[in-house]
A and B are shown apart, each in its own frame.
Chain A
């Protein structure tokens, strides 16, 4: 039985690696397209004609924004205005709704929207944004803690998580020792999966308890946000897990927990690997210290790139329809059929990737925790850990 599980693990790892590499490759050419298309964009605007620009559309959808776009485009688009919260030492705190900017056409309260970023301007009264002069000094010391699209999407996912898990916990309290029902039945296998296949196998039977709250929270946070990202309408569709800031915070927490809980053995292995001659240590210790930071960094990049790539692919397929429709309406319809079919296929794949990324992030985090508290006396355990780290 253990053998079969190992084979399965190897297969799933292979899968993950394939996905990771494919997605990263898939991401690159599109990114190049984007840079290519930025140039013609300016030209078109100069000529005053509005042409469909796939790069602009895609970037607009996957980056954070100060309003939540719902439907329509340009001046007639419907979007949900979000609160802007700014603090600067010179001007103090200012809070207002983002629709005051009128999609970047107006300044408000001495601020304006420039390429999705809020910058400070000299004019304190509301003027046309195109004539305002940017105040570099204030902009430099400006702290923007606005509730952006991603922040709101994150709050929505947190509310969802609170409701799901607290209601499930209540059900556990209401009928203890009974078979799971409803929400409980949906969540229980996943919770047990995280506990048994991630925490227990990577950290060990004895000390996995300590890490369970983090591992469960991070698993469900990533998974639920990934799934919400697949839903095209509000409150889904935000690219939360595909945002590098989110991955960075999660990776930083992983790093901090690893460092804080690490035992003597872990530090000894990093700073002076036992049984290694001094000459080699000079080379090895910097590599080990670098590796300490590299591990969470890789976690961040993997999650970010994978989820970003998923959004980009789906948007690219839809963009194809409009690119071809601009040449010929019939062609657009024809391509639309294929695009929709491909998007459905990719959507199925994304469903898998959503789970896989949550799993991989949690598993790797658990492995780092496990390696940090590994006693090293238990020969078998040690061997196991080495095996795992080699696999990844």
Chain B
């Protein structure tokens, strides 16, 4: 029974010393330790949070970068398209102008040719006429060079003349 009978002395010292040690430890150990632990946990937590925030910011930055890149790409495509259109238009314009110019030059050339041709024909006609007159003069001169020839000519002519 001695074992289960609490002794007064032990209870007395236990109450005093346990109470005392609890107060001392509370002031000098538990409070500072728990506060420090709490502070450290808070700082770790805030570090983790800020890392998370930085990650999100990075993600946002990345997505905005991508957006800028996509915009730039679109703009480039647009510019290229415009340039192509302008080029085609310019080519088309140039073609039109050249065709018109060609046609105009052809018409002028044709007109010139026509004019030259007409001039040549006129010239030719004139020459032919001159030649013909000369030939006729020469023929007449040879035909009418002697009397006999004149007589025969008259005869021939007379023969041809049918007095019918």
**Which A residues are closer than 8 A to B by beta carbons?**
59, 62-64, 85, 115-116, 143-148, 150-151, 154-155, 158, 161-162, 165-166, 168-169, 172-173, 176-177, 187-188, 191-192, 195, 212-214, 216-217, 221, 243-246, 248-250, 253, 304, 308
Contacts and interface: CB of A to CB of B under 8 A. Distances in A.
A249 B9 contact: no
B7 A144 contact: yes
Contacts of B26: 213, 217
A148 B5 CA distance: 16
Contact of B8 (A115, A144, A173, A191): A144
Contacts of A64: 7, 10
Main secondary structure of the interface of A (DSSP, over half): helix
A235 to B, nearest CB: 15
A217 B36 contact: no
8 contacts: A148-B7, A151-B13, A161-B21, A162-B25, A168-B33, A172-B32, A213-B30, A244-B3
Most chain B CB within 10 A, of A150, A161, A165, A173, is at A165
Interface in B1-41: 2-15, 17-18, 21-22, 24-26, 28-34, 36-37, 39-40
Contacts of A217: 18, 21-22, 25-26, 30
B38 to A, nearest CB: 9
B43 interface: yes
Contacts of B10: 64, 148, 150-151, 243, 245-246
Nearest to B30: A213
A78 to B, nearest CB: 24
Interface of B: 2-15, 17-18, 21-22, 24-26, 28-34, 36-37, 39-40, 43
Contact of A143 (B3, B8, B29): B8
B63 to A, nearest CB: 32
Given A217-B22, A253-B18, A62 B3 contact: yes
Contacts of A248: 6, 11
A173 B34 CA distance: 11
Nearest to A27: B3
A146 B34 CA distance: 36
Given A63-B2, A115-B2, 5 more contacts: A64-B7, A165-B28, A195-B37, A214-B22, A221-B21
A214 B30 CA distance: 10
B43 A191 contact: no
Closest 5 CB pairs of A and B: A165-B29, A245-B6, A213-B26, A172-B36, A245-B10
Contacts of B33: 165, 168-169, 172, 187, 191
Most chain B CB within 10 A, of A155, A213, A221, is at A213
A229 to B, nearest CB: 15
A176 B36 CA distance: 7
B43 A177 contact: yes
Given A173-B36, A246-B14, A249-B14, A145 B8 contact: yes
Contacts of A304: 4
Given A169-B28, A169-B29, A148 B9 contact: yes
A381 B122 CA distance: 128
Contacts of B9: 85, 144-146, 148, 151
B32 A162 contact: no
Given A217-B25, A244-B4, A147 B30 contact: no
Contacts of A59: 2-3
A217 B34 CA distance: 13
Contact of A168 (B4, B6, B18, B29): B29
A359 B11 CA distance: 23
B83 to A, nearest CB: 61
Contact of B40 (A150, A177, A191, A216): A177
A145 B13 CA distance: 7
B89 to A, nearest CB: 70
Contacts of A148: 7, 9-10
Contacts of B15: 249
B14 to A, nearest CB: 4
Contacts of A147: 13
Most chain A CB within 10 A, of B2, B4, B12, B25, is at B25
